[in-house]
Amino acid sequence: MNNVKRTETCYLLFNAQDTSVFSVALSLQQDTENTKSYLYKLMEKATKPLQATRTGNLVSLRIAEDDFYCDLLLNIAF
């Protein structure tokens, strides 16, 4: 946006429904609203409940809409 540096932070909270399914809550903080941000668009798609699944040490979150695709893969091995 006009060569001005912007900041944003996205928080994802995974709540276990059982050992392999998580509900996912999202929160986005921006210094100035940026509707062109990929994270902003993700928040718009998060109006319905999001669900992640666990397989072994991997947790995956997938969103597939008509005009928006997002895959997040987390390794939770400690």
In a domain, 51, yes or no: yes
- Give pLDDT tens digits for 50-61: 899 999 999 999
In a domain, 26, yes or no: yes
CB atoms within 10 A of CB 58: 12
In a domain, 39, yes or no: yes
In a domain, 18, yes or no: yes
Beta carbons within 8 Å of 54's beta carbon, 6+ residues apart:
19, 20, 21, 22, 60, 76
Number of domains in the chain: 1
The strand pairing partners of 9, in sequence order, are 29
Average pLDDT over residues 14-42: 93
User: What domain range is 38 assigned to?
Assistant: 8-75
In a domain, 2, yes or no: no
In a domain, 15, yes or no: yes
- Give pLDDT tens digits for 9-22: 999 999 999 999 99
pTM, full prediction:
0.79
In a domain, 12, yes or no: yes
